[in-house]
Amino acid sequence: MHKMQTGPGEAGAGLNRHILDPAANMQSHLNKISAGSKKHFWICAVAVAALDQVTKFFFFALPAFDTADKIAIVPNWFYIVRRTNPAAAFSIGPENPLFYIVATLLGMAVLIWLLTDLAENRLLPVLGLGLVCGGAVGNLIDRVFVGGEVRDFIEIYYWQGRPWPAFNVADAAICLGVAIVLIETFRSTSGSATQPEKPASEMRKRPTDQN
């Protein structure tokens, strides 16, 4: 039987379709992710986004805020507040809702690429990326449905009565997820860098002499 060879024109057309079709390009990346990695990633992401929205709804609806600006959980250190933030996490960045919506969507595309390149057969990076994705989605829901602002309710006083900018579950998940991914990346790269290379003589197998 003769194998059919693809001509240069057909190969170029296939390559052009792959580059020009974002859906096909994204699907090719998704196909590289193992079923287990997808499961852990989406469970973590959905759980974080759901927890973020539930806690925001619960704490913003507390009747105590009718008469108080903040609720002390640990006096002089940990308070529940009711704040809205038009900027990024911890009130950092420009106050432009459209900017953060577009940045979140682009960031999620990057997460899918990282999931195929970084997290293959490794649980911690998968969970780290899931935390980042879930946090991004949680804040994105606020951007779309709460007037372009994010709801924050955690306020911590860390030094001589100085408050850290109010944040939420999504912000905490993003920071934790980024930390996990960076640590795992550093461990992976440092481990491969310190691993000694085998000499060429060991790489080649010598044939066994037969009498």
The residues carrying an active-site annotation are 152, 171
Q: Is 150 exposed, middle or buried (0-12, 13-18, 19+ CB in 10 A)?
A: buried
* Cα separations in angstroms, 123 against 131, 181, 190, 193: 12, 11, 18, 22
Give the per-residue SS3 of the chain.
CCCCCCCHHHHHHHHHHHHHCHHHHHHHHHHCCCHHHHHHHHHHHHHHHHHHHHHHHHHHCCHHHHCCCEEEEECCCEEEEEEEECCCHHHCCCCCHHHHHHHHHHHHHHHHHHHHHCCCCCHHHHHHHHHHHHHHHHHHHHHHHCCCCEEEEEEEEEECCEECCCECHHHHHHHHHHHHHHHHHHHHHHHHHHCCCCCHHHHCCCCCCCC
The pair of three-digit structure tokens given for residue 84, joined into one six-digit string: 């809205």
